[in-house]
Amino acid sequence: MRYYGKVLGGLLGFAMTRHPFGILLGASLGHALDAGWLHRGHSADSARSRLDDAYATLEVSPEASDAEIDRAYRKLIARYHPDRVAGAAEEIRALAEERSRALNAAYDTIMKARRAA
């Protein structure tokens, strides 16, 4: 367990406020830094997670060929395209648009990862 962020935060908190509450506040901020809570998520783990989510969104396995991914994308986008529900209620149109955006993003994520590999 890392501790240097908590110690440094506590010392800086006390130095800035000259109050015991500053130690607590600084140590809390240091803990957030140590635990990685303030990172933006650009690590390899989050990229892998996004790619796994993309495969799940298109309902294909990572071992699927490009043709199978194209076929799954076209099938799902045909099913959830907003034009299919043009006369429906606003909530249903909004859900269809959201699902279409998710499908497009998943397809782009997979194809970008495959081009880079």
Name the band, by pLDDT with cuts 50, 70 and 90, for residue 43: low
Number of domains within the chain: 2
Look at residue 56 in the predicted model and tell me its pLDDT.
Answer: 93
Name the band, by pLDDT with cuts 50, 70 and 90, for residue 72: very high
Look at residue 8 in the predicted model and tell me its pLDDT.
Answer: 67
Same domain, 15 and 66: no
Same domain, 79 and 53: yes
Q: Is pLDDT at 34 greater than 70 in this prediction?
A: no
Same domain, 84 and 49: yes
Same domain, 83 and 107: yes
CATH number of the domain residue 61 falls in: 1.10.287.110
What mean pLDDT comes out for the span 48-63?
A: 91
CA triple 4-9-15, angle to 5 deg: 130
Same domain, 30 and 48: no
The mean pLDDT of the chain is 82
Domain residues for the domain of 81 are: 44-116
Distances in Å between the Cα of 60 and the Cα atoms of 37, 54, 106 are 31, 9, 11
